[in-house]
Chains A and B, each alone.
Chain A
């Protein structure tokens, strides 16, 4: 079974540009999460999808970030326009059931550097 995949693995862009990150969850997982780790600090939650619906977007930092999950399969996270402080590692995770005792399975992350 394939794990969570993320694309690209690395991205270097200039301040003011747009970047789109993609996450493909484990097949059959309805729950999809985005997290990020900025500058070696703790990993922080951004948002949670259940299928195509945003269940919890309390961690989204501002309106420069837009997450979508059309069709309830893969998800994209767009940063527009990117700022220097957006640099970090963006992780995606997925889980199967609507049960609190679920396990979130993480992808390898996308390393974003904004210059």
Chain B
């Protein structure tokens, strides 16, 4: 069965610093890959997604992610973090070859931003 690992439960960075959130997946084929963000009191908002093609994906709010097949990773990055980026971030996988629509999520990484 597929799985998604977000090894960092909690990360604290200073405002203006760069950010990288890790995501590794386990799946036999190339999955669809997503990053969602949940701000306090809000629903899950899609930041970006990867289906095929260019392995560097640009998203909203200045985020990007790179798909590395050899490492089974899809890490999320931002060059300069803003205080409003404090939220919980979820990596998710969808399966290309099964026809099922269910997303498999990681356990989330909570980001704190220090002034």
Contacts and interface: CB of A to CB of B under 8 A. Distances in A.
Interface of A: 3-4, 31, 33, 35, 40-45, 48, 55-56, 58-59, 91, 93, 95, 100-109
A48 B45 CA distance: 19
Interface residues of B, number: 25
Contacts of A107: 43
A100 B103 contact: no
Contacts of A102: 101
Interface string B69-110: 000000000000000000000101010100111111111100
A95 B94 CA distance: 14
Interface of B: 4, 32, 36, 41-46, 49, 51, 90, 92, 94, 96, 99-108
A101 B32 contact: yes
Given A42-B4, A101-B51, A106 B105 contact: no
Contacts, number: 62
Contact of B32 (A45, A55, A100): A100
Given A42-B106, A42-B107, A105 B46 contact: yes
Contact of A42 (B51, B99, B105): B105
A103 B51 CA distance: 11
B109 to A, nearest CB: 12
B47 to A, nearest CB: 11
Nearest to A58: B102
